[in-house]
Chains A and B, each alone.
Chain A
Amino acid sequence: MRTSIPKIPAAEITDEAVFAARRAFLQGAAATAALNVMPIAAAAAALNLVPGAAAAAGGKTIGGELTPTPLRVVENYTNYYEFTFNKEDATRLAQRMVIEPWTVTIGGEAEKTGVFDLADILKNYPGQERIYRFRCVEGWAMVVPWLGFPLADLLKAVRPLSSAKYVRFVTASQPDVMPKLAENKMLHWPYEEGLRMDEAMHPLTILAYGMYGKSLPKQNGAPLRLIVPWKYGFKSIKAIVKIELTREQPETAWNRFAPHEYGFYANVNPNVPHPRWSQSSERVLSGGFFSPRRPTELFNGYAEQVASLYGSMNLRVNF
């Protein structure tokens, strides 16, 4: 099992301007900068953002050794199939989404279920910066500095019953502005995803409301999305309106579409190819033309932290 800290090739190095801007933000400008952006997350960020998330991680930002991908790449390359099947068109189309006010329904096998205002949720959980690798099942990868909080904190607060074995997530359905969803194209809508309870409670699993020190852009899943860094990107569901604790393994959108190609677990694994393409390497998007592929790592480089979740499970069968 590979456990070494991932090395980042020169090609992945961020534009200096982006990097400097991010540092500047984190070094004290947090409150003022955040107030200029989207109000819900901004208010929360201003209240709760711990610069560099130093407190939570014992003095270090989780993923601080990774160099983020240029922001212009991350915010212009998103799979948002409700709007379009083209990653470069989602930026424009997603702007029509209505994200205020926003409520999240938490239901199912828990004691304190209900409908919560996003602003109230964000008030209660200190923001942390997490710099994570993001690996798409299509074979490209990025490094993104997210702002968010552990999903476990929220789940613990609603007091899961012992019968809660899985967590189901649902994306907003806004047919007026989501053409592919309105036309019922490709996937079964609304988009839904799921995690096993232990995966959901893992400290690396976060709910993100921002990135690069700012509110999440709409195309990147505003106002609230899941980030599970050791799984393929499609597991990290965007624009969450519902979180449900369930007894049974929930249906997930891509698994429903092509069960033999996209599994429930969808853990990043270079040794388990997609039926039609290899997952052994990834194209790290750097914004430049010459940035050759690098080998993909088991669990996207997070094996040390998450491999124990899967014990002796056959990862080829449970892909």
Chain B
Amino acid sequence: MKLMLSARQWWWLALAAFCWPLLILGVDIANANLGPDPVKAVHIRLGDWSLRLLCLTLTVTPLQTLTQWRGMADFRQLFGLLTWFYASLHVWVYLGVDQGWQWPLIAADMAESRYIWFGLLSYLILLLLALTSSVFAMRLLGRNWKRLHRYIYLAAPVAVLHYIWQLKGNLAVPAVYGLIVGGLLLFRVASWLQGRPKLGQFWPRWAGGRLIQPAKPR
């Protein structure tokens, strides 16, 4: 039995796997299986998947750094686009199903709901990154591409805030996302600190520290 799949096969497998939750959601909607407040259930389901995929997207670079396996940029792009896709559905359900495209109600709700501001900011960043995710856009933007795509570091914690900010007080679930996003961002800070000449080896060897090349002192 051949267990090793090619990178391309893995890519398709990942795509299929992350479309699965959408299929399940469709089945649950069709069967009225979402409880007394189905719209809220859909908001949570789509928002959750978007956040999970966002965390996964942020995991790719640390994984590359630690394993020195360089074939993962395609996956980062895939996970990023899936994040945006689920976030788009989340926004669309809010506008079209929850609010029923009643623009005066939407305007009032958005103006006064701070948790929506966080959600909107996070979504606009994801939209911008999705639009510039192609190799073509990458070439076009040159050095600015990396600068632009670093805004994912803002989109992630802001999305978690969007979650926290709408709850009455029970923060157990968003706290888990907060810890994961916090950890992934800390990795960036640690890598950056390690890259600075005077601090030397910040990252322990067992955590792959030796794999990171310290910047050469000038």
Contacts and interface: CB of A to CB of B under 8 A. Distances in A.
Contacts of A290: 97, 100
A77 B109 CA distance: 23
Nearest to B164: A276
Given A276-B166, A278-B111, A76 B100 contact: no
Contacts of B111: 278
Interface stretch (A35-43, A102-110, A144-152, A280-288): A280-288
Given A280-B108, A289-B29, A289-B97, A85 B35 contact: no
B10 to A, nearest CB: 35
Contacts of A87: 36-37
B170 A287 contact: no
B102 A186 contact: no
Contacts of B108: 278, 280-281
B67 interface: no
Size category of the A interface is 20 to 34
B168 interface: yes
Nearest to A290: B97
B114 A276 contact: yes
A259 interface: no
A292 B97 contact: yes
B13 interface: no
Given A186-B169, A280-B105, A293 B99 contact: yes
B126 to A, nearest CB: 22
A257 interface: yes
Interface in B118-143: none
A283 B169 contact: no
A319 B99 CA distance: 26
B94 to A, nearest CB: 10
Interface in B160-212: 165-166, 168-170
Given A257-B169, A278-B113, A280-B108, A292 B36 contact: no
Contacts of B112: 273, 277-280
Most interface-central of A186, A275, A287, A292 (chain B CB within 10 A):
A292
Most interface-central of A287, A293, A295 (chain B CB within 10 A):
A293
A76 B42 CA distance: 17
A73 interface: yes
B114 A293 contact: no
Interface string A135-161: 001101000000000000000000000
A88 B111 CA distance: 30
Most interface-central of B42, B102, B108, B166 (chain A CB within 10 A):
B108
A288 B113 CA distance: 25
Contacts of B110: 278
Interface in B139-154: none
A288 B38 CA distance: 7
Contact of A273 (B35, B37, B99, B113): B113
A195 B6 CA distance: 68
A273 B165 CA distance: 14
B39 A289 contact: yes
A258 interface: yes
A7 interface: no
B3 interface: no
Contacts of A293: 98-100, 102, 105, 109
A213 to B, nearest CB: 20
Given A276-B113, A278-B110, 5 more contacts: A278-B113, A281-B109, A283-B37, A285-B36, A289-B39
22 contacts: A76-B35, A76-B36, A77-B36, A87-B36, A88-B36, A276-B115, A276-B166, A277-B112, A277-B113, A278-B110, A278-B111, A279-B112, A280-B108, A280-B109, A283-B98, A285-B37, A287-B32, A289-B38, A289-B39, A292-B97, A293-B99, A293-B100
